[in-house]
Amino acid sequence: MKRLSVLLTVGVLATAIACNNNPNTNSSEAQTESTTDEPKEMVIHDYLKEGNKGIGPIASFTQPAFDQAVADEGNKLFIVKCTMCHEYSEDKLGPALKGITKKRTPEWILNLMLNTEEMFEKDTDALAIKEDFQSMMVSVGLNEKEAKSILEYLRQEDAKTN
């Protein structure tokens, strides 16, 4: 008798689960879930406007509208050019980059990527980072468009970590 009771309970639970996952259910909750399959729009934060701009070719930066294709290209470049020394969430040979677009101006980040050697010789913020890591960042030969796409990728990732 006890075994029959367990089997009936399992059967009832299985039926309830199956019915709740059926999009044709008359439940208003199930209808709401099935009609809202659109992806939720991610809010991409604004870059810092005040702070150290660094030393290099980028004196000012105007934030463009977010472009997923640019961020995707930045992700690819990040994997190829940056992950040998950086991870997003944890330190490696260089510092973790999580939150970088919320801590540094876009000019500083771009100048570090484009003018690496001079930044590590003269910029006080870069020099402070250099003290915490055994090896110094080297130029990986990015052009301005590539650096901006990596920056947009980092901005997108930072938007996910509120």
Q: What structural domains does the chain harbor?
A: 2-35 (no CATH), 68-160 (1.10.760.10)
For residues 50-73, give the mean pLDDT: 93
pTM attached to this predicted model: 0.72
| Residue-level pLDDT at 49 | 77
- What own/partner pairs with CB < 8 Å and gap ≥ 24 does 65-70 have? 66/152, 66/155, 66/156, 67/152, 70/148, 70/149, 70/152
- pLDDT band at residue 30 under the 50/70/90 scheme: very low
| Residue-level pLDDT at 10 | 42
More confident residue, 71 or 8: 71
Q: Nearest 5°: CA angle at 80, between 135 and 119?
A: 40
For residues 128-137, give the mean pLDDT: 86
